[in-house]
Amino acid sequence: MWEQQLAEIRKGNNKTLARCISVIENEVSGYEALLQALPSSDIPVIGITGPPGAGKSTLTDALIGLLVTRGKNVAVLCVDPSSPFNLGALLGDRIRMSEWYNNPMVFIRSLATRGSLGGLHPKIIEISDLVKTAPFDLIIIETVGVGQSEIEIAGLADVTIVVMGPESGDEVQTMKAGLMEIADLFVVNKADRPGADLLVKNLKLMFHIADKNALPVPVIKTIASQKEGIQELVETILSLLDQNSHNDKRTWLLAEKAWHLIRQKKMNTLTKLDIKKQIESTGKDFNLYRFIKTHY
């Protein structure tokens, strides 16, 4: 059913790719058959996350520019906050990256979180696997920037970049471990502002204290608006991708993705209203743990 569309995507037809993304995003009838027809792919995924205002979109724009000059075809999935009215993407990163909108080597798609708390679109795994069918060299996923709940990106990306601004320097010690532990690479953006050097020092010190025997997580200073530090960033990303191809991280990524999809499918037919009705029918002698064991 989907062979012709997938053949077009493999040829680099971005219009067909965009339409198929919408099919998955909106769960159009037959979308599961499309997913089951997807070929396996090892196109690397770069995840970019971090708190709001750190300059993730500007950094992504600078990364695209350098990768394109190197002859790389790049896909970018930008996850934006949802509109409360139509659940569409509220910001639209394609406007902020307008330079690449008509570039044949770049595909940019804005996706809405649709209420997902992890900073990602609920169908991001499926959509990224579809994009891997196309002839891209790299896929970049930029999360919504909701703060410390974005750790889902670690289960999707081959390399996870956490972007921080100098203003985050005083917050490093109080940040939740989750966001800090997912980083394969830290970027201190807007490094021309006061506090950048202190933030770099604090980040390196934090990892040294946490585990003196572990390999240090690279910390790179950039000024994305001026394209400074981007060359070093790209070289570090490519080096990390090469390292990851020689360890078991890819297997763990597949296991993580499978776990998320299985959980999502298992919960698909279950609603809080159904649970509420079942609880109401149990009467006063209610025990939450007996209830779960009995019903689920």
What are 185-239's pLDDT values in tens digits?
A: 999 999 999 989 988 888 888 776 656 566 788 999 999 999 999 999 999 999 9
pLDDT band at 117 (very low <50, low <70, confident <90, very high): very low
Q: What is the DSSP letter of 13?
A: -
> What gap in Å lies between CA 277 and CA 274, rounded to an integer?
5
Average pLDDT, the chain: 81
Tokens for 282, please give them. 């149990």
Q: What is the pLDDT of residue 89?
A: 44
**How far is residue 234 from each of residues 37, 185, 294, measured CA to CA in Å?**
33, 11, 53
- Where exactly are the structural domains of the chain? 38-247, 249-296
Q: Which CATH superfamily is domain 38-247 in?
A: P-loop containing nucleotide triphosphate hydrolases (3.40.50.300)
By CB atoms closer than 10 A (0-12, 13-18, 19+), residue 40 is exposed
Q: What is the DSSP letter of 232?
A: H
Question: 51-99 pLDDT, tens per residue?
Answer: 888 899 899 999 999 999 999 999 999 887 544 444 444 454 445 566 7
Q: What is the pLDDT of residue 203?
A: 85
Q: What is the pLDDT of residue 40?
A: 86
Where is pLDDT greater, at 177 or 137? 137
Q: What is the DSSP letter of 185?
A: E
Q: What is the pLDDT of residue 219?
A: 94
Cβ neighbours, 10 Å, residue 112 = 22
State the greatest distance between any 2 C-alpha atoms of the chain, in Å, as a whole number: 68
In the three-class reduction of DSSP (H, G, I as helix; E, B as strand; rest coil), residue 57 is classed as helix
Question: 241-288 pLDDT, tens per residue?
Answer: 988 766 666 677 778 778 878 887 777 777 778 888 888 887 777 777
In the three-class reduction of DSSP (H, G, I as helix; E, B as strand; rest coil), residue 254 is classed as helix
pLDDT band at 294 (very low <50, low <70, confident <90, very high): confident
Q: What is the DSSP letter of 234?
A: H
Rounded to a whole number of angstroms, the distance between the first and last alpha carbons of the chain is 36
Percentage, residues of the chain above pLDDT 70:
78
pLDDT band at 106 (very low <50, low <70, confident <90, very high): very high
pLDDT band at 49 (very low <50, low <70, confident <90, very high): confident
